[in-house]
Amino acid sequence: MNNDETQFTARFELNKRDLEAAKLLYEQIPNFYTWNGKDKEFHRRKMPGFAVGRINHVPPKIDDAYHLRILINNKNGPKRFDDIKTVEGVVHESYRDSCYTLGLLDDDKEYIHGIEKANFWCSPKYVRKLFVIMLISETCVPQPLCGNTLRRYCLYGNTLGNQLDNHVS
């Protein structure tokens, strides 16, 4: 047992010793494995099934962590950190570069998904603030993001909606 082991780094060890685990995305691990905090390792579930895991929200402003989160939700079986940044045999310098190479950032779907997820656990004020941060940080293209997603999750009341529609159109 390694005292410095976290659930995230323990997944690397799980993928090394269990070929079935290496086929799963990070978010699928809780369906088939349980985490033993005392031993700091994963154990196979006796009865696999749906289980709720947790992947913490990371705002886009925390660039490296944000892109790492995108990758772990889209790449199977990493055995070390470099595996996460590897695309078609090339180890990229950053997680962001890997995301672009995989086509995960070619449009704003990840930002739209972030707003949709934040809508479930945040106040409307925070969701609007998140949207403004995305615009200010220039990490997303305003026009596609402003469409239905903005109206659905960020606007409350016709006055604010009409004001933003005038600026966006």
Each domain of the chain, given as residue ranges in start order, spans 1-55, 63-102, 109-168
| Whether pTM exceeds 0.85 | no
| More confident position, 128 or 89 | 89
Q: What is the pLDDT of residues 20-73, one digit of tens each?
A: 999 999 889 999 999 998 989 999 999 888 887 777 788 777 888 989 998 998
pLDDT over 60 at 169, yes or no: no
pLDDT digits over 74-86, tens only? 999 999 999 999 9
Instruction: Tally the residues of the chain.
Output: 169
Question: What DSSP string runs through 5-44?
Answer: --HHHHHHHHHHH-TTGGGS-GGGHHHHEEEETTTTEEEE
